[in-house]
Amino acid sequence: MNFSKFTQMVRLLWQDTCLEIFSDHPEHIKIKKEKTIVKNMDRIFKATLKISNEKGFQAMSMRNLSREAGLSMGALYAYFSSKEDLLEMLQRMGRTITEQVLGECLATDEDPVEKLGKAIRTHLYLSEVLQPWFYFAYMEAKNLSEKGKERAVASELLTEKIFADIILEGQEKGLFVHQDSRLLAAVIKAMVQDWYVKRWKYAKRNVSVDHYARFLVEFVAAYCLAREPARRSELRGAGDELYR
């Protein structure tokens, strides 16, 4: 799968998840046409992300959203009942897609060396395709309800666990040096977050997502495989074929 196909897969998942979330709100079920649902929810979510990432979700008024999305106030309320409802729906969108994409891309029989490289690359490319959402989710976590905060924390810990489990598997097979797998997973997650939270910094330095992905995989390889230099190139190249 190349990066173009990866992007298309994520966009199709975005559409499917729009329908899934909408169907979970029976009060809005009066809208029957799936194309209309997907089109308008996409407009609402993109408008919300644009406004929120410029001035903050709490500062966004429904009138601002109506203008940006090109929908009437009445039309907006056909898709959600309040700003809090909209916030939770949008957070759920990204969490669902992230968990599904990582799960599908890593459901293979590859060894831990290849799998760790693929996990890092997949997460970075996913955050590139959905960068506005990832930035929004990071910045707006403080505005979630208590249950929403719990879900956001659980989602972050889940992605860390994916990295940690691969590292543990590699240690058990003698492929990785022994170290604190959870701490290393947290560091990897933080470096992935740096890409989408501080994108301006990398844009200023002309660092592409491909360049950053290669660097991060090599950085982890140097640490994990410090005693097995012959396998460093395997981790550095792991997952490259997905995005060529």
Alpha carbon distance 56, 140 (integer Å)? 8
Report the CATH superfamily, name and number, of domain 90-243: Tetracycline Repressor, domain 2 (1.10.357.10)
Contact 52, 140 (CB under 8 A): yes
CA dist 188 to 87, 100, 122, 170, 172, Å?
27, 19, 13, 16, 20
Alpha carbon distance 90, 83 (integer Å)? 10
Q: Is the pLDDT of residue 32 over 60?
A: yes
- pLDDT top residue among 1 and 81: 81
The pLDDT > 90 percentage for the chain reads 45
- pLDDT top residue among 34 and 115: 115
Q: Where in the chain is the domain with CATH 1.10.357.10?
A: 90-243
Q: Which two tokens stand for residue 96?
A: 């669902």
* Predicted pLDDT of residue 92: 87
Q: Is the pLDDT of residue 146 over 50?
A: yes
* Predicted pLDDT of residue 3: 77
- Residue 225 dihedral angles phi and psi, to the nearest 5°: -110, 35
Q: Which of 70-79, 101-110, 189-198, 229-238 has the lowest mean pLDDT?
A: 229-238
| Mean pLDDT, residues 222-243 | 59
Alpha carbon distance 150, 141 (integer Å)? 10
Q: Where in the chain is the domain with CATH 1.10.10.60?
A: 3-88
Fill in the DSSP letter of residue 144: S
Tell me: domain 3-88, CATH 1.10.10.60, correct? yes
pLDDT band at 243 (very low <50, low <70, confident <90, very high): very low
3-state secondary structure of 174: coil
